[in-house]
């Protein structure tokens, strides 16, 4: 599924789900938002609620450059190291933002660190929830 307009984001959140994405893509998206949280002193951590688009470019032998566009929403969890985003519920009127991430990773190998090459998030100025 692909949703370009943030107007559609609420709909995508309801109908789209991340299980339709490759688990490597989900893992890369979670890594990127975690890094983004660490680099910003938001009071509350954001988590990925939607993956609008993803593409993968392979760099042999094993590295992959992922380019993602995701929607992230504010959780109730304090933005601190080692927060487990999976278990963090969203705020009831969560702020949301649209993020473009570029990440280098070796899929299926968590011992090789992922690298965030590009990290750009903009608030979409709406509370969707």
What residue ranges bind ligand NAG (CB under 6 A)? 109, 111-112
- Tell me the CA end-to-end span of the chain in Å, nearest whole number: 21
Whichever of 52 and 66 has its CB closer to ligand NAG, that residue is 66
Whichever of 16 and 107 has its CB closer to ligand NAG, that residue is 107
Whose CB is nearest to ligand NAG? Answer: 109
Closest approach of ligand NAG to the CB of residue 119, in Å? 24
In whole angstroms, how large is the CA radius of gyration of the chain?
A: 14
- DSSP string across 22-40: -HHHHHHHHHHHHHHHHHS
Closest approach of ligand NAG to the CB of residue 90, in Å? 33
Closest approach of ligand NAG to the CB of residue 63, in Å? 11
Residues 91 and 128: beta-carbon distance below 8 Å: no
Closest approach of ligand NAG to the CB of residue 112, in Å? 5
Q: Which two tokens stand for residue 125?
A: 């100025």
Whichever of 78 and 115 has its CB closer to ligand NAG, that residue is 115
Whichever of 82 and 111 has its CB closer to ligand NAG, that residue is 111
């Amino acid at each position: 599924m692909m949703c370009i307009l943030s107007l559609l984001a609420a709909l995508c959140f309801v109908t789209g789900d991340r299980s339709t994405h490759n688990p490597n893509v989900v893992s890369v998206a979670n890594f990127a938002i975690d890094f983004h949280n660490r680099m910003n002193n938001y009071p509350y951590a954001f988590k990925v609620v939607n993956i609008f688009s993803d593409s993968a470019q392979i760099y042999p032998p094993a590295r992959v450059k992922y380019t993602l566009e995701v929607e992230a929403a504010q959780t109730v969890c304090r933005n601190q190291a080692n927060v487990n985003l999976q278990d963090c519920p969203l705020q009831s009127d969560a702020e949301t933002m649209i993020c473009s991430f570029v990440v280098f990773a070796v899929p299926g190998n968590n011992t090789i660190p992922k690298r965030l090459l590009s990290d750009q998030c903009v608030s979409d100025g709406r509370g969707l929830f």
